[in-house]
A and B are shown apart, each in its own frame.
Chain A
């Protein structure tokens, strides 16, 4: 099936530093999402993105978070500065239509020390 690629698979970073998580969505998809999953728990919606804009974000999407997809390249999640509670697995997803099936990547495990 369609593949969403996430780079890197694991990122270790010191608290207060900046981190960028990269996502290569399915090529013809138009909607992009980030979810956060703390080990063994549910997936929690962070943000969705369409036509170059954030459409909706949750309370978990703090001011230190930002997303962009410059010129159709990677869809990125930037955290600046990072905090200990940002440690989690971050999943990127994409869909062709807004109410369509979401395809998820394998996740990036972020460890903030």
Chain B
């Protein structure tokens, strides 16, 4: 059972355009949604995150839009740069895990290519 889904699987945009990456989830208990960026040969690194009490989180060129009712969120990357080319993973977790630990559930990822 796939609890976190992402689309599209891959996305190509031109430099300067806005890339939109989509994510949906099934578990209503999820309340924390980080996006991780992963370059080939490296581990994922936290890019930006949102909690379910908010509907928008902005950090520079990166913005998360969150719709709790529809269980959907999206990551918008404005003014895309070739250096943004990477795989982006949407993840989710619920508070109150065993011992307070956060088990992050990852989506399948979106491979973004920014062409110049």
Interface residues of chain A, those whose CB is within 8 Å of chain B, are: 1, 4, 6, 31, 33, 35, 41-45, 48, 50-51, 53, 55-56, 91, 93, 95, 97-107
Contacts and interface: CB of A to CB of B under 8 A. Distances in A.
Interface in B35-52: 36, 41-46, 49
Nearest to A48: B101
Contacts of A31: 101-102
Contact of A102 (B95, B102, B107, B108): B102
B99 A98 contact: yes
Interface in B64-106: 89, 91, 93, 95, 97-106
A89 B32 CA distance: 25
A99 B49 CA distance: 12
Given A4-B43, A43-B89, A102 B97 contact: no
A31 B103 CA distance: 11
Contacts of B44: 43, 91, 104
Given A43-B44, A55-B98, A98-B101, 9 more contacts: A6-B43, A33-B104, A35-B106, A45-B105, A45-B106, A50-B101, A56-B98, A91-B43, A100-B102
Interface of B: 32, 34, 36, 41-46, 49, 89, 91, 93, 95, 97-109
A56 B106 contact: no
A103 B34 CA distance: 12
A101 B95 contact: no
A75 to B, nearest CB: 14
A58 B70 CA distance: 27
B101 A56 contact: yes
B103 A99 contact: no
A105 B43 contact: yes
A31 B3 CA distance: 23
A105 B38 CA distance: 11
A99 B32 contact: yes
A55 B108 CA distance: 25
Q: Which of A31, A98, A103 has the most CB of B within 10 A?
A: A98
19 contacts: A4-B43, A33-B101, A33-B104, A42-B89, A43-B106, A44-B106, A45-B104, A45-B106, A48-B97, A48-B98, A56-B101, A95-B102, A98-B100, A99-B95, A100-B102, A101-B34, A101-B46, A104-B43, A104-B44
